[in-house]
Structure formats: structure tokens, C-alpha cells
Amino acid sequence: MIPTIFWIELLVVLICLFYGARKGGMALGLISGIGLIVLVFCFHVKPGKPPVDVILTILAVIMGSATLQASGGLDCLLQIAEKALRSHPRLVVYIAPYCAWILTILCGTGHTVYTLLPIIYDVAIKTGIRPERPMAASTIAAQMGIICSPASVALVSAVAILDGHTLPNGQAVNLLTILSVTIPAGFIGVFAEATYSVFRGKDLDKDPEFQKLISDPEQKEYVYGDSTTLLGKKFAKSQWAALWIFLGCVAIVAVFGATKGLRPVFGGKAMSMTLIIQMMMLTAGALMVIFCRTRAADVGKSSVFRAGAVAIAAVYGVAWMSDSLFQAHLPELKVALTGAVTSYPWLYAVVLLVVSKFVNSQAAAVAIILPVAVQVGVPTGIAVSMISACYGYYILPTYPSDLAALQFDRSGTTHIGKFVINHSFILPGLIGVITATVVGAILGYLYGWL
């Protein structure tokens, strides 16, 4: 039986999460400090431990990714994506989401989609395809790629939290075991939401609202506008070198994750993948600064670094506050929840999805839920197999990438409905994430983890 005091303390935590998420930015992490003070001084909850290993791993990944952006290597990758889009414009509803998904996997951040969105819009509108279809699907796909990326905050957080745990078949949890679920599950999930998007909304020539809009010559010129393109732009050798340095370091991380025997052994144990990820991301940034004419001062000014700093603040405050609450009531939670999760394993996925919406961060959701899930008895196989459910902040159209799609779609087809919840992103998001989570569970069963 879970005591009444737990629910009162949980209410304090939820109020902090709701209010912090509404304020946005660093507020989520900062307001968690108030929650901690209330828990500790009013309810005498023993303070938990901040997730130091997770925070340091996030910081290392952000430093590497931000240096890639500052070096101009990210633009090289975007140019390759644009060539794929413009080569097959009729397939933009499929190609655009996969380009966004792959860019996130390679770079570790969904913020790459901002530069891609105006290109997607231009290809769609010039081809006569409703822009809402590829644009909404692409913003969802970009965020779905986060849990599939060896360089993402959410995935390295999961690796750090599950380091040392084993699966039912005796296999140790590492970077590649998680990727062996999330990448194929994400690929199929993106296909599902793109397929739905092909048929959504009215074709432009049959949409009375769109036809009314372009009946005004000025509005028509605004809607069709000038092309946005990176094609024809020449990049310096140093920019291409930065891209290959970053991707090379990501590949090395994958190799160490796949081959435990390559890692140094200390005290009879192979070195943690958390430390290897940290070392390789710092090395990637260092090599770009040394060999690619990247100004170190520009790294901290990049949008990737700024967004990453917000993620660190959120994980620091929210995970510390949540850990304090759950550790204080862990024995009761184990008794109450073990049976429920064993009987209904999908509850873990639902909780992960809902919490990610509360905190607007996959990394924060993983940092909050994954440690608690393992401690209350959620089998490691379920925790890994259903981890794709950590993306749920498309439920309300408040995330920056969703807002960016609304702004870049000059046709107005990407929209927020009268009731707010009926917006362009919710159905692609639900279809993509639910499909990926179900496929992950099937893969976990086939791998012998469930």
C-alpha cells in the first residue's frame, strides 16, 4: 500500500514540472530546486543524488555536436539531404521525414530540422503537394531519431543509467543493444507516420481555403515565394573534414559498444561505455578545433550548445527532485508496482510517454523514469524494448520544432486547430511513436529479452 504522504509529495513534484514546463527554457531545472526544498524541509525527505554521470555525458555530447555546428560541418550534411529531396520531389512525404530522422541520428540533435524545414516546404509547394504532409511528418521524425542516435542526450543517458544491467538472455545492456531496438523500430515508425501523412488533408487544388488564399496575387507570391537552397554552395575542405571527424568518432563509439574486448580493463571490469562516449565526444570537438579552423569561442554561441545547456539544467533539477521522492518511498513502490508492471508491461511505456510531455524532453523523461522503473522491478528487457515511448511532447504543439514548422509553412496548411489538441502533429506523432514502441516490444521478444 502506497502511503498518502507519497501522493502529496508527488503533487509537489508535478506542480513544479507543470509550472516549469509552462515557463520554458531553464525554468524546469530551476523550479525543481523549489520542489527539493519543499520535499526536504517540509516533508523531511532525504535528498537523493544528482545524476552526475548522466549530466557529464550529456555535456560531452553537446560539446562535440556544438563544435560540429560551429565548424560548418552540419551545413555539409544538410546539403546532402537537400540533394535527396530535390532529386525525387514527388516522394517528398517519405524522403523528408527520413532525411530529418537520419540527420538527427548522425548529429544527436533534432534541431537540425530547422534548416531543413524551409527546403521541405519549397519542394512540396513547387510540386503541388500539401506542405503539411511532409513538414509535420518531418518534425516528428526528427524527434523520433533522438533515441536512435549514439550522440544524443537521451540515448547516452539511457546507456549511463543501464550500464551494468543484464538482459534475461544474459546479454549486457550497452549502446548497441539499445540501438538494435530503437533504430529498426524508429525506421518502421517513421514509415508508418509518413504513410499516414501521404493521405492526410485535402490536395491543394481541392482545398477551398488554400485556393481562396492564393486568389490574392500578393498572397500567392508570398506562398510560392523564392526558393531556399544550399545547392551550389561550395563548402571549405575544413567543413567537410569536421563532418567526417564527428561521424568517425561516433563510429568508434559504436565499435567499442559492440566489442567489449576492445575496452581497457580496470579491476577486472571493462571500462564503462559512459566514459568512452565522454572521451570520444570531447576528442571529436578537440580535433575539429585543432584541424578545421573552428573558433572555440563560437562553440558556446551555437544553437546546439544553448539547447543542450537547457537540457542539462532540466535533467539536473528534475532528476534530482524525482530521485529524492522515489528513493524515499522505494520499498512501498516496489510492492505496489511490481505486480502491476509484470501484468501490464505497457504501463511503463505510457508513463514514459506522459512524463516526456510534462518535461518536454526525452532526456529528462529517461533520467526520471528509467532508474525508478528498474528499481521497482520493471524487467530490463521491457525497459529497453519500449524505450521509444520516451517521445511524447508532440501531444501539445509547444515544442520549438513544431512551432518552426508552423512558421515556415507559408501556405497555412500546417496548423493548430480550434481546440489546440487537434493540430497537425498529434496523429503523425501518435502513429509513429506507438508503432515504434510496439515494434520494439516485438523485437525484444524475438531477441529473447521478454
pLDDT tens track for 216-243? 999 999 899 877 677 888 999 999 999 9
Indicate the domain borders of the chain. Answer: 4-446
62 touches 302 (CB < 8 A): no
Q: What is the mean pLDDT of residues 23-38?
A: 87
Q: Return d(Cα 304, Cα 313) in angstroms, integer.
A: 14
What Å distances lie between residue 75 and 25, 80, 82, CA to CA?
26, 9, 10
Q: What is the mean pLDDT of residues 76-88?
A: 88
pLDDT in tens, 296-326: 999 998 877 887 787 788 778 888 898 898 8
Q: Return d(Cα 273, Cα 258) in angstroms, integer.
A: 10
Q: Please report, to the nearest 10 degrees, the dihedral formed by the alpha carbons of residues 143, 147, 151, 153 taken in order.
A: 80
C-alpha angle 342/192/417, rounded to 5°? Answer: 95
Cell of 6: 507519497
What Å distances lie between residue 320 and 64, 67, 75, 161, 315, CA to CA?
25, 29, 37, 14, 8
Q: Return d(Cα 104, Cα 98) in angstroms, integer.
A: 10
145 touches 99 (CB < 8 A): no
Q: Return d(Cα 387, Cα 385) in angstroms, integer.
A: 6
387 touches 440 (CB < 8 A): yes
The candidate with the shortest Cα–Cα distance to 410, out of 143, 243, 224, is 224
pLDDT in tens, 178-200: 999 999 999 999 999 999 999 99
The DSSP bridge partners found for residue 269 are: 266
Q: What is the mean pLDDT of residues 130-153?
A: 92
Between helix 217-224 and helix 113-127 the angle, nearest 10°, is: 130
For residue 416, the 8-state DSSP code is B
Percent of the chain with pLDDT over 90: 42
Cell of 302: 551555437
pLDDT at site 297:
92
Q: Return d(Cα 51, Cα 357) in angstroms, integer.
A: 21
C-alpha angle 212/218/224, rounded to 5°? Answer: 80
Tell me: pLDDT of 144 over 80.
Answer: yes
Residue with cell 524541509: 41
What Å distances lie between residue 102 and 3, 44, 135, 194, 420, CA to CA?
46, 47, 15, 14, 30
Higher pLDDT: 152 or 210? It is: 210
Q: Return d(Cα 422, Cα 429) in angstroms, integer.
A: 12
250 touches 106 (CB < 8 A): yes
Cell of 350: 505510457
Tell me: pLDDT of 60 over 90.
Answer: no
* CB atoms closer than 10 angstroms to residue 215: 9
Q: Name the band, by pLDDT with cuts 50, 70 and 90, for residue 24.
A: low
436 touches 388 (CB < 8 A): yes
The candidate with the shortest Cα–Cα distance to 334, out of 378, 381, 386, is 378
pLDDT at site 108:
78
Tell me: pLDDT of 97 over 80.
Answer: yes
Cell of 91: 516522394
- φ and ψ of 25, to 5 deg: 60, -135
Cell of 244: 567526417
pLDDT at site 339:
67
pLDDT in tens, 381-419: 999 999 999 999 898 776 777 877 888 888 989 988 777
In 186-344, where do the E strands start and end?
Answer: 265-266, 269-270
Q: Return d(Cα 122, Cα 307) in angstroms, integer.
A: 27
Q: Name the band, by pLDDT with cuts 50, 70 and 90, for residue 134.
A: very high
Higher pLDDT: 137 or 151? It is: 137
pLDDT at site 67:
93
Tell me: pLDDT of 282 over 80.
Answer: yes
Cell of 401: 520544432
pLDDT in tens, 346-389: 888 998 998 888 777 888 889 888 988 888 888 899 999 999 99
For residue 112, the 8-state DSSP code is G
Tell me: pLDDT of 342 over 90.
Answer: no
Percent of the chain with pLDDT over 70: 97
Mean pLDDT of the chain: 87
Q: Return d(Cα 378, Cα 168) in angstroms, integer.
A: 12
113 touches 139 (CB < 8 A): yes
Tell me: pLDDT of 272 over 80.
Answer: no
pLDDT at site 337:
67
